[in-house]
Amino acid sequence: MTVDRSDPRSAGDGTAIPFGSSSSSFSDYLRQHAPHLLPESGIAADLASHTANGGSDKSGIAPHGTTIVALTYAGGVLIAGDRRATQGNLIANRDMQKVYVTDDYSAAGIAGTAGIAIELVRLFAVELEHYEKIEGVPLTFNGKANKLSSMVRSNLGAAMQGLAAVPLLVGFDIDISDPDRAGRIVSYDVVGGRYEERSGYHAVGSGSLFAKSALKKLYRPGMTEEEAIRAAVESLYDAADDDSATGGPDVTRGIYPTAVAITSVGADDVAHDRISAAARSVLAERTESAAHSGGAEHHTRAGQQVSEGGSAP
Question: Which has more confidence, 117 or 36?
Answer: 117
Burial of 187 (0-12, 13-18, 19+ CB in 10 A): buried
* Structure confidence at residue 13 (pLDDT): 43
The hierarchical CATH code for the domain 64-285 is 3.60.20.10
Among 103, 117, 115, residue whose Cα is nearest residue 68: 117
Question: Which has more confidence, 219 or 293?
Answer: 219
Neighbours of 168 (CB within 10 A): 28
> Taking 90 as the threshold, does the pLDDT of residue 226 lie above it?
yes
Strand 258-263 to strand 266-269: parallel, antiparallel, or no bridges (unpaired)? antiparallel
* Structure confidence at residue 62 (pLDDT): 67
What sign has the CA pseudo-torsion 12, 13, 18, 23? negative
- What pTM does this model have? 0.79
> Taking 70 as the threshold, does the pLDDT of residue 255 lie above it?
yes
Neighbours of 307 (CB within 10 A): 8
Burial of 62 (0-12, 13-18, 19+ CB in 10 A): middle
Q: Which amino acid is present at 223?
A: M
What amino acid positions are annotated as catalytic residues? Answer: 66
For 2-20, what is each residue's pLDDT tens digit?
444 344 343 444 344 454 5
For 16-71, what is each residue's pLDDT tens digit?
445 455 667 766 666 665 566 666 554 444 544 544 455 555 555 567 778 999 99
Between the CA of residue 205 and those of 90, 177, 238, what are the distances in Å? 17, 32, 13
Q: Which one of 44-58, 84-98, 266-280 scores highest in mean pLDDT?
A: 266-280
* Structure confidence at residue 146 (pLDDT): 97
Neighbours of 213 (CB within 10 A): 15
